[in-house]
């Protein structure tokens, strides 16, 4: 394409590359608008430790509260110390309901309660926090599979179950393996990319989308409750391939 169009200018080449990258992401992306979900939806949020999973749930709750009155945060991370308390803080901040069991209890049982709260009309949308884990820990992944099985079984055809993977923008090539194993275990509906800033641009999601077809549905770029942005392939490609940076290096 570069030869055919006789493009030799750095700026033109960068623009072409940026447009091509955006087009590729659009081709592999099945839109999932987290800002326009239907009522009666349960969102399972998964990911490895340290990706900003619980913070992302807090931001997601803020987005959902703009559309729904009855939003519930569900503390299915019964393993990590202080996880329940941290999620409760986000529930209070967003003025949402909150479902928890005792620390060390069965996470699937907490999700069971959330589904039945939804069935009883006490909740329109529920967001579930799960214990962070490395995708290579077989026993822990089996626990996540159990949570998903219980959610799908109890939801039936009345409640939608959406599974989101939270991924750190600084993740390297391990991100492909991470997304692949979570997808094989849980069938992911989307990825929320966190810690996106001037230095960590999250280019790994381009490879993830190309190889696995899992759409990016949101970008977290800060610690505040409003710091969750919709994902735009065009804007993401523009940020990833910055013309000014290329020109300064040439």
Ranges assigned E (strand) in 56-170 = 71-76, 97-99, 125-130, 160-168
Q: What pLDDT score does 139 carry?
A: 78
Residue 32: pLDDT band (50, 70, 90) is confident
Residue 250: pLDDT band (50, 70, 90) is very low
How many Cα neighbours within 13 Å face the side chain of 232? 7
Tokens of 69: 């009155």
98-119 mean pLDDT: 95
Rounded distance between C-alpha atoms, residue 164 and residue 26, angstroms: 19
Domain ranges of the chain: 38-249
Cα angle vertex 98, ends 155, 31, to 5°? Answer: 50
Residue 14: pLDDT band (50, 70, 90) is low
Contact 237, 25 (CB under 8 A): yes
191-207 mean pLDDT: 74
Residue 221: pLDDT band (50, 70, 90) is confident
Tokens of 52: 């900003």
Q: Is 19 exposed, middle or buried (0-12, 13-18, 19+ CB in 10 A)?
A: middle
Tokens of 178: 């991470």
pTM: 0.84
Beta strands 228-229; 216-220: pairing state: antiparallel
Tokens of 162: 């959406």
Residue 140: pLDDT band (50, 70, 90) is confident
CATH number corresponding to 38-249: 3.40.50.300
Rounded distance between C-alpha atoms, residue 78 and residue 63, angstroms: 25
Helices 204-212 and 10-28: angle between axes, nearest 10 degrees: 40
User: Over the stretch 44-101, which tens digit does the pLDDT of each residue have?
Assistant: 999 988 888 999 999 999 999 999 999 999 999 998 879 999 999 999 999 999 999 9
For residue 94, give Cα distances in angstroms to 87, 99, 226: 11, 14, 11
Q: What pLDDT score does 53 carry?
A: 92
Residue 34: pLDDT band (50, 70, 90) is confident
Tokens of 170: 């600084």
Nearest to 45 by CA among 57, 61, 33, 32: 57
Residue 5: pLDDT band (50, 70, 90) is low
User: Over the stretch 170-192, which tens digit does the pLDDT of each residue have?
Assistant: 887 788 888 998 999 999 999 99
Rounded distance between C-alpha atoms, residue 87 and residue 95, angstroms: 12
Q: What pLDDT score does 24 carry?
A: 66
* Confidence check: pLDDT of 243 > 50: no
Q: What pLDDT score does 245 carry?
A: 44
Tokens of 56: 């992302």
């Amino acid at each position: 394409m570069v030869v055919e169009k006789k493009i030799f200018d750095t700026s033109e080449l960068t623009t072409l590359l940026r447009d091509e990258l955006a087009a590729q992401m659009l081709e592999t992306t099945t839109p999932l608008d987290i800002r326009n979900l239907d009522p009666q939806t349960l969102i399972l949020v998964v990911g490895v430790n340290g990706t900003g999973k619980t913070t992302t749930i807090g931001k997601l709750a803020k987005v959902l509260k703009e559309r729904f009155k009855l939003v519930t945060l569900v503390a299915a991370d019964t393993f990590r110390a202080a996880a329940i308390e941290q999620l409760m803080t986000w529930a209070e901040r967003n003025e949402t309901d909150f479902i928890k069991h005792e620390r060390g209890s069965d996470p699937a049982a907490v999700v069971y309660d959330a589904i039945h709260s939804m069935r009883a009309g006490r909740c329109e949308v529920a967001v579930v926090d799960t214990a962070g884990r490395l995708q290579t820990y077989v026993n822990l992944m089996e626990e996540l599979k159990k949570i998903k099985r219980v959610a799908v079984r109890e939801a039936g055809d009345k409640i939608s179950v959406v599974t989101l993977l939270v991924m750190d923008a600084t993740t390297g090539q391990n991100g492909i393996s991470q997304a692949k194993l979570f997808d094989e275990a849980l069938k992911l509906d989307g990825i929320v990319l966190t810690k996106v800033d001037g230095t960590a641009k999250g280019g790994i999601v381009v490879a993830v989308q190309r190889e696995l077809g899992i759409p990016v549905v949101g970008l977290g770029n800060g610690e505040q409750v409003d710091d969750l942005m919709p994902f735009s392939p065009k804007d993401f490609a523009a940020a990833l391939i910055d013309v000014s940076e290329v020109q300064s290096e040439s």
